[in-house]
Amino acid sequence: MNSEIKRIGVLTGGGDCPGLNAVIRAVVKTAINKYNLEVVGYLDGFGGLINNMAKKLTVASVSGILPRGGTILGTTNRDNPFKYPMIKDGERVYVDMSDHIMDNLKEMGVDALVVIGGDGSLSIAKEFCDKGLPVVGVPKTIDNDLSATDVTFGFDTALVTATEALDKLHTTAESHHRVMVLEVMGRYAGWIALHSGIAGGADVILIPEIPFEIENVCRKIKARKVQGKKFSIVVVAEGAKPLGGEMVVQKIIEDSADPIRLGGIGNVIGEQLEKCSGMETRVTVLGHLQRGGSPTPFDRLLGTRYGAHAVKILMEKKFGEMVSLRGTNIESVPIAEAVKVLRRVSPDSDIVFAAKSVGIGFGDE
């Protein structure tokens, strides 16, 4: 055991995600049972580090949380410590609170930190590592868009939620002879839309990586109607955009590490399809349903493996690294590599080929 590390901290940053509690549970139980460490949980993301909002975590603290969605620690996608918003002389200014946090950690006797988050939170984690804080990362996002890992926990649960929604939309679409448009999350990557669209039997899938032309989508729907198919299912990723056009931005959150909030493309597509196809069209925005609920067995298992290995690589002094799933093995990679570029769908991938081969349209032809 590494005697230099006696107390570790853990926090969850960014959007919530099914499986967070599985990771927290594994971090706590591994730290205590295997390495005889003390564990401190910071509340509400990096804000907990700034304001010293923390609680001691024990084996009893994490009992029964494995099937629970969300995070027992709370989270936020604001409070970047290196650009923390404050009001000074009536004006908003941004202050670097990282030294203040380093002092807080020293005062609480926290020797190292496990950061569970997406690209924004892990980028902040890397900056703290550059300041000399022993940090390891755990990749979290339903969007599955972190490079350097094959899968992020939370994605499978979001995929199940989206697929179940498509199953339900199928029955009402067929009954009323309608076009049903389902808008799903994913930010700048189309993984949720692509996987759920295939699994849910969609007729059209629109993703950010393959710009679409609405005329092509409409042609697909009309062709189905001629063939006697009086309904169609269209899955739209929130970051999908027309050829030569832009993504639909819902709003801008200035204090967030990721200020752009996408959303609204589903309604745009729905209106256009109703006009060009002459068919009644309804739009469902799945929204935060994808973030909630009990994690699937896959996400519980992956979260547990990630949490246990995060403590392991911390004790091996692999600071600045992130646990990663490669094939069927858990490895670790530099956080810098993980956040360098988003993992996006390749239009030439075998899964897109499979989708097109079974007749799914992407609006590109």
Alpha-carbon 190 to chain mean position: 12
How many other C-beta atoms are found inside a 10 Å radius of the C-beta of residue 184? 33
Catalytic residue among 44, 111, 143, 299: 143
| Phi-psi sector, 70: left (phi>0), alpha (psi -120 to 50), beta | left
* Cβ-contact 286, 162 below 8 angstroms: yes
258 is catalytic: no
* Angle value at C-alpha 278, between 273 and 279, nearest 5 degrees: 75
What is the 8-class DSSP label of residue 256?
A: S
* Cβ-contact 169, 233 below 8 angstroms: yes
Q: How far apart are CA 57 and CA 3, in angstroms?
A: 20
* Angle value at C-alpha 134, between 131 and 139, nearest 5 degrees: 105
DSSP symbols for 53-108: -EEEE-TTTTTT-TT--S-TT---S---GGGEEEEETTEEEEE--HHHHHHHHHHT
Cα dihedral 327/185/72/309 (nearest 10): 10
Q: How far apart are CA 68 and CA 323, in angstroms?
A: 22
| Phi-psi sector, 19: left (phi>0), alpha (psi -120 to 50), beta | left
Q: How far apart are CA 30 and CA 282, in angstroms?
A: 48
Residues taking part in catalysis: 143
